Structure 1
């Protein structure tokens, strides 16, 4: 039996589905912040979970900094608790855009076990 088939309590109607919160709404914290910026280098610190719910914000931040064309763009993943496939895709895309713009992109997993595991798996899949 699915939730919409459950019996309703005496005369209580279910709320309209368009007013229900998303099952996993992203938090108010954007998940990334600018930690350092100079004419030559930018460091973006990423925190929390990097997954389908949060990846759009990360992509926007990285795109913005690549367009500014610093010499180096460092993505610090040291505080990431989860790095999913959507996050890896955004990092790969940022790498392609950075290369085309002449920006040296450095992805630093820091001490995040989640980031280390995901990046090691990516390296193995790419044959590095």
Structure 2
């Protein structure tokens, strides 16, 4: 998994992630997103378009990040293009319901 250092522009923060997100790489994802979660009124865009696998550890980390962002008045947005990642995110949507 690789992470591109995010750039903030007018409280829009984009974090690009690629590769596989599983229990062995989820810490990289968390370290990339976590520093931005306390910025209020921000939009944190997690770009998952180059992610090839999103396991349960990644789903849990994204869910925790979303809750944290919502508590401080920010929004976490997830971008994806791959079917595998969309299926994983669909599971996350079912857990929210």
The two structures have a TM-score, normalised by structure 1, of: 0.68
Name the structure, 1 or 2, with higher relative contact order (CA <8 Å, separation 6+). Answer: 2
Query: How many pairs were matched up?
Result: 97
Within the alignment, does 1:73 sit opposite 2:19 as a pair? no
Gaps of 5+ in 2: none
CA, structure 1 residues 82+69, in 2 after alignment: closer, same or farther (shift >3 Å)?
A: same
What pairs up with 1:16-95 in 2 under 5 angstroms? 31-69=2-40, 71-95=42-66
Higher strand share: 2
User: Contact 2:39/2:74 (CA < 8 Å) preserved in 1?
Assistant: no
Describe the SS at the equivalent of 1:60: helix
C-alpha distance in 1, partners of 2:68/2:6?
Answer: 21
